[in-house]
Amino acid sequence: MRIDVVSIFPEYLAPLELSLIGKARQDGLLDLKVHDLRDYTTDRHRTVDDTPYGGGAGMVMKPEPWAQALTAVAAGRSGDAGAPDDGGTPESAGPDGAAKPVLIVPSPAGERFTQATAHQLAEEDQLVFACGRYEGIDERVLEWAAEHFTVRPMSLGDYVLNGGEVAVLAMVEAIGRLLPGVVGNPESLVEESHSDGLLEYPVYTKPSSWRDRDVPAVLLSGNHGKIAQWRRHEQYRRTAERRPDLLVEFDAGKLPRADRTAFSDLGYDVVDGRLLRRPDA
């Protein structure tokens, strides 16, 4: 996979050189490049923002530097800021029927980024992240980019950050770790939070007794069937306590009797394959 990130603070993305994502880059599993938006300006001050039409506080990111940067990145001409674009289509944006690169714009007004989104994006050939700042990017950039990219404004959650870089760090790590070979043990990608729509069960390690707190006895039993059942039921309990909203879409139609009992103990009944919380629970 190829990932390009455009930002006015490229040094903010330095953590992508560390840990598993950094190793994936070194091993050639992930082609990730960070680009400075200011390299695509044409004035001596390398200006990327201006006052908003209609008045109001803050500044808005100018459209032309973004058009130049995105055109160069999509065409594989990263760093070639000296040749202004003529307004045409980036060379690599869908030639011969190929899929367009996906342009992800971090924004509190975007769709919610989820684990399912990460899996979906991990199947793409090229992702481009546009890190906005100030009051955001001129809306015409997204309209223009839609001709050359699959544009997806995306939000980590219902809060506002100073810029898109923090969100990009999170999204790149969530997506990158799903690429084949990035995580050493692929099974760890299956048994983790949100992989099946639920939160992950609690985990423990040695010693078995620590500060008067013992590891649950079932985990020391050696009975793998009982361990698997305990872990499932702990997923149910933790999700019901911390993220009951996730249970709204949970498919409970084929749950075995013991699992239905576990949900019943938590105050849920299975009705037409869905979980419904009892009013008295």
CA end-to-end distance (rounded Å), the chain: 47
pTM for the model stands at 0.82
- Contacts of residue 219, Cβ cutoff 8 Å, sequence gap at least 6: 204, 227, 230
- The predicted-structure confidence for 131-188, as pLDDT tens digits, reads as follows 999 999 999 999 999 999 999 999 999 999 999 999 999 999 999 999 999 986 665 5
Average pLDDT over residues 86-108: 70
d(CA 127, CA 129): 7
Does residue 78 register a pLDDT over 80? no
The pLDDT of residue 197: 84
Does residue 96 register a pLDDT over 60? no
